[in-house]
Structure 1
Amino acid sequence: MYRFTDYYRNEVTLSFADHPFSQSPKHVWVICRYKHKWLLTRHKERGLEFPGGKVEENEAARDAAIREVKEETGGIVETVQYIGQYLVVGKSETIVKNVYFAEIGELAVQETYYETEGPCELTRIPRDVKHNKAYSFIMKDDVLTHAMAFIVNEALRNRL
């Protein structure tokens, strides 16, 4: 379990255990790979970020993750895996968010990408993302750092 503060100085607790904070979280965040590149979206106000959003009423978090990827990038999810969950204790509310890792099979061109400008493919995520104005605040805390390390370690473990 990891504890740190986010971009807005909210207290964050991240765990890679099975749903340690809620069995039915109301938010999702999806780290995506497409053809050996990271697949992000460009939010119209916040900048570059991995897709994510709110879980709709009567929707499972996993289904919300798949829907959000499609809406924000046009990505058709081939595989999606729950990797962790984090709790953000903010000044006005507390949120619980599932983190997923998804492999994207194809990108569909769409008329709208909702609140985003669509897909953005990157060969690598820069080390200075915390200080890079092109990136959303969502990318600027240790959830990204720990989740990326978890994904790499899982990939290495599965190859052995």
Structure 2
Amino acid sequence: MKSTAFAFLFLGSFLFACDDKDDDVKPDDVPAAVKESLISAFPNAQNIEWEKKAEDFEADFDQELVDYDALFNASGSLLKHKYDLPEAELPEEVKAGINQKYAGFRIDDADVLVQDGDTLYQVELEKDKQEHKLVFSADGQEQTGTPYWD
């Protein structure tokens, strides 16, 4: 009985240690150049939370009631950003591209992804127990070389 209780305690401690919030960063630990770049690019950012992603810093924030994420390098350069997009606001070309290859799938989530000067659309599709996370260009072409940013 003691060994069973110990096993559960150990497993619980291990799972807690693996919590995905391990990369949260206090605002004081974010370089000033990164914070300044965020405010410069998104002057109305509110409720800012920071995470460390390898050597980069990811900000999760709200701007004008829309959820945003932005990724900066340590010197403050904006690498990419995304924001929530209602399904109804997806371009018709993107919807057509989805329907052509993924007919019957439901759009569960949609974001605008801006990186390298391109505006892309990432979608999470669901059907039964299947799920796809995909990126499309504005003309509805699936971008297999661009990873979905969770």
Q: TM-score, normalised by structure 2?
A: 0.30
Pair member with larger Rg: 2
Instruction: Say which structure is richer in helix.
Output: 2
- Structure having greater relative contact order (Cα 8 Å, sep ≥ 6): 1
